[in-house]
Amino acid sequence: MSNFLKRTLTGIAFSAAIVFSLLIDLRLFILLFFLITLAGMLEFYKLSCLMDVRPNIVAGLIAGSVLFLSSGLLALGYLKTNDMLLNLITMTLPIIFEIYRKSKNPIANIAFTYFGIFYIAAPLALLLFFPNSNFLTHDFYPGILLGFFALVWINDSAAYLVGSKFGRTLFFERISPRKTWEGAIAGAVVTLAASYCVSLLASEPGFHHWLIIAAIVVVFSTLGDLFESLIKRSLNVKDSGRMLPGHGGILDRFDGILLAAPIVFVYLNFAL
């Protein structure tokens, strides 16, 4: 089976799981992304070990899990905003755990442990509040999240297809030698055009908002992809993991979302 076919089938299956969970119940979506958060953090911590760093995996996973699950309970209306302050307690765990470890680079260990939380768990937790950017309890409207995911996937797919077929001019050779300007431009054009279709399927928050969200996705999803490529290139590895055939690991699949999600959340918070 060709890599393109593997990538296509994996992408369809993974996208279908996300769409299905959103349409069925927010609790199912929270469970799915909780597992994705744990898998992504584990991938990052394993990559960190290649840099002669020993992140405290247990402390990081506990803090990241509490951050994500408390966000899920807040989104479901079981917690109040003030209850999120409890995360400040679990956020001390990487420091406390490191005190009792014998390590040559304790500062680096702590830094990489925290970075795994803020790079992966925090952005994915923010996804839970896209339909509710002011943290108010009301009926869950999945259209905003579905539209966001659709734009990210469209940008990624269009850039990959056009870049692999017609790409000639390298986009950022120092970090990602396979990305081209042709692919990047195609991804941007198709994504901006797709924002109109998304606005028809998801009436909220309106076409002009979807157009701005699409522009944010084009810029920051691409930067997120480049950042993850920078990590892999510095470690001389091809993929972040092997969980997803044709894609690599969880970080390979969600790299664009990790950087675009916080920016889109901020926009929704101020614009809606």
- Average pLDDT in the chain: 88
| Structural domain for 22, as ranges | 3-271
Whether residue 140 has pLDDT greater than 80: no
Instruction: Name which of 199, 200, 194 is nearest 217 in CA terms.
Output: 194
Sign of the torsion angle spanned by Cα atoms 229, 231, 237, 240: negative
* Type of residue found at 21: S
- Nearest 5°: CA angle at 249, between 104 and 103? 5
> Distances in Å between the alpha carbon of 130 and those of 44, 112, 191, 205, 233?
25, 27, 19, 11, 32
How far apart are the C-alpha atoms of 248 and 241, rounded to whole Å?
5
Decide if pLDDT at 248 tops 80: no
Categorize the per-residue pLDDT at 190 as very low, low, confident or very high, splitting at 50, 70 and 90. Answer: very high
Q: Which pLDDT score is estimated for 176?
A: 79
Query: Which tokens go with 13?
Result: 């299956």
Closest CA to 40 of 96, 115, 150: 115
Q: How far apart are the first and last CA of the chain?
A: 46
Q: How many domains does the chain have?
A: 1
Q: CB under 8 Å to 114, separation ≥6 — which residues? A: 60, 91, 94
Residue 64: Cβ within 10 Å count: 28
Give the pLDDT of residue 194. Answer: 96
**What pLDDT shows up at residue 137?**
53
pLDDT digit string (tens) for 252-271?
889 999 999 999 999 988 88
What's the rounded Cα separation, in Å, for the pair 150 and 145?
Answer: 8
Q: Where are the beta strands (DSSP E) in 66-122?
A: none
The confidence band for 77, taking pLDDT boundaries of 50, 70 and 90, is: confident
228-234 contact pairs (CB < 8 A, 24+): 228/252, 228/255, 228/258, 229/175, 229/176, 229/179, 229/255, 230/175, 231/47, 232/47, 233/175, 233/176, 234/51
For residue range 151-174, list pLDDT tens digits in order: 999 999 999 889 888 878 888 778
Q: Is the pLDDT of residue 142 over 80?
A: yes
Mean pLDDT, residues 2-14: 72
Query: 170 has which bridge partners?
Result: 180
At 177, is the secondary structure helix, strand, or coil? strand
Amino acid 4: pLDDT? 61
